[in-house]
A and B are shown apart, each in its own frame.
Chain A
Amino acid sequence: MFRNNYDNDSVTFSPQGRIFQVEYAAEAVKQGSVVVGIASKTHAVLVAIKRNAEELSSYQKKLFPIDEHVGIAIAGLTSDARVLSNFMKQQCLGHRLTYGRNMPVRTLVDMIGSKAQINTQHYGKRPYGVGLLVAGVDEQGPHLFEFQPSGMTEEMVAFAIGARSQMARTYLEKNIDKFADCGREELVRHGLRALKESLVQDRELTVDNTSVGVAGAVKVDDGSTKVEPFQVYDQQDVAAWIESVADDKEGGAGAGEGEGEGEGEGMEVDS
């Protein structure tokens, strides 16, 4: 009956010092399908598995362009992601209008971090039920950031969030030293291999369920950097990449014991 008195709102600590609403929001992220992001010295890539609610339905988008130079990958409640994505788009546009430049990625990520944190400290509000990987390029080069519903943001070399993402992270940890000097194509392949680690037994990457997003900053001779705008690739555009990682076993993580989180029941999350 009185199982938990401390999870009614996000402003009350439990006696153990936990805020359950925020932890539940983090659970929502684990229910979304897996997304992987990697940054090298020249590129930042996002790759994602899309899910369809049923055989006859279409696949839910996982990657969204924000501005010329930034894109996000989402895991969790799609509708909450839409709110954050709209906010990010507006901020980027506003920054471009007032300063005439691309918004630095860290500045953008800090903004959604503050926005999400406020929700964890006001009675009657709830945390966002979505985690993001934010990939982009600015004057400092490529960046990858993780964003959590708690408002935590952190710059990453490579990361994966979503269902069964532990296996993907294990792959990324094994190969972390290779990423910095990877070219564009090789980085995408690493992403797809990490993604494959997270797949359940009889599922595989197809042109229907795989999305790839790439942004780049390529040094030009005169010392300036040329931005390769963030672009999402779907369907036939990812066929060659999927083919290229079809049957290689490189870095195959020993089918790790994940977190045993599995596919969640009940809550409707981004299918």
Chain B
Amino acid sequence: MDHRPQAWGRPRDDVYGAYDASYLQTNGPKTATQSPIVTGTSVIAIKFKDGVVMAADNLASYGSLARFTDVKRLRPFLSTSIVGFGGDVSDMQFLDRHLNELAIDEAYEHESTATTDTDSPSKTGQLNAANLHKYLSKLMYRRRSDFDPLWNQVLVAGFDAHAKPFLASVDLRGTTFTSPSLATGFGAMLAQPIMRRFAATEEDAAALTREQAVDVVKECMKVLFYRDARSLDRYSIAVVTKDGVELSEDEQLEKQSWAFAERIRGYGTQVV
């Protein structure tokens, strides 16, 4: 037995062989995140008459393994906006903590004036969803320019400075866009066409009721669970209105019908 302090806590060379130092990278460029590790799949959101509905399932996958089934990927900001995260979960947690700090600073800055208006949850002057989205876009772009991107696509929902429903996206490259309905990841292929049937234009979205919007989103979550192999039937759904954010984090997909599955041919276990 080797009792020298250098050897404490190390696998014994006589049992395991000498340590293979080639695993340690000793030279070469600094490498930040090269790919996401633990990931969340789609986030979907659609505007309606007086707000925005957003949903994302509660799964965090490790590759194709459904590793964590209770991950909350929607987070409210100042109880006036909702941020939904697709992509790397650790980067999501970093952003979550960062936004917490931002919200606390913002709450302190408006402390003295906060009491003036009582009924509205949005204290006038506090960061609204449009401000928050702008900030996140700068943050994401800065990180990609440092070659250390935050590997997420983020949806921000809430209201803009004119108190109109606001929905916009920013991704790991700092690219931003906005639309009456938005979806990240697989949702962009599977859910977005369905949502567009109901809200192709801002006018269409302004005609949708809250119930309609929630139904569309729930239907999309079902389609995503059917066809996205990295998805889960437990999901979170949030509704942002002028009265604030209503967030439900343990919804179960209802009225599933797998009858269509039998007709699927061409891959999987079945031979023709």
Contacts and interface: CB of A to CB of B under 8 A. Distances in A.
Interface of A: 97-101, 104, 106-107, 110, 138-140, 222-224
A138 B125 contact: yes
Contact of A140 (B125, B127, B130, B162): B125
A100 B138 CA distance: 11
Contact of A99 (B109, B110, B127, B163): B127
B161 A98 contact: no
Given A98-B138, A100-B131, A101-B131, A106 B109 contact: yes
A97 B135 CA distance: 9
Q: Nearest 6 pairs between A and B by C-beta?
A: A139-B125, A100-B134, A99-B131, A139-B124, A98-B138, A140-B125
B113 interface: yes
Nearest to B132: A99
Chain B contact-residue range equals 10 to 19
A107 B135 contact: no
A223 B162 CA distance: 9
A110 B112 CA distance: 13
B35 to A, nearest CB: 29
6 contacts: A98-B134, A98-B135, A99-B127, A99-B135, A100-B130, A101-B131
B138 A104 contact: no
Contacts of B161: 101, 224
Contacts of B110: 104
Interface of B: 109-110, 112-113, 116, 124-125, 127, 130-131, 134-135, 138, 161-163
Given A98-B138, A99-B135, A140-B125, A104 B109 contact: yes
Given A99-B131, A99-B134, A100-B131, A224 B163 contact: yes
A224 B162 contact: yes
A210 to B, nearest CB: 33
Contacts of A138: 125
A95 to B, nearest CB: 10
Given A140-B116, A222-B163, 11 more contacts: A97-B138, A100-B131, A100-B134, A101-B127, A101-B131, A101-B161, A104-B109, A104-B125, A139-B124, A222-B162, A224-B163
Contacts of A104: 109-110, 125
B260 to A, nearest CB: 45
A107 B109 CA distance: 7
A154 B161 CA distance: 27
Contacts of A110: 109
B136 to A, nearest CB: 10
Nearest to B109: A107
B65 to A, nearest CB: 38
Contacts of B127: 99, 101
B16 to A, nearest CB: 52
Contacts of B109: 104, 106-107, 110
Contacts of B162: 222, 224
Contacts of A98: 134-135, 138
A140 B125 CA distance: 6
A100 B124 CA distance: 15
Interface centre among A107, A140, A222, A223 (most CB of B within 10 A): A140
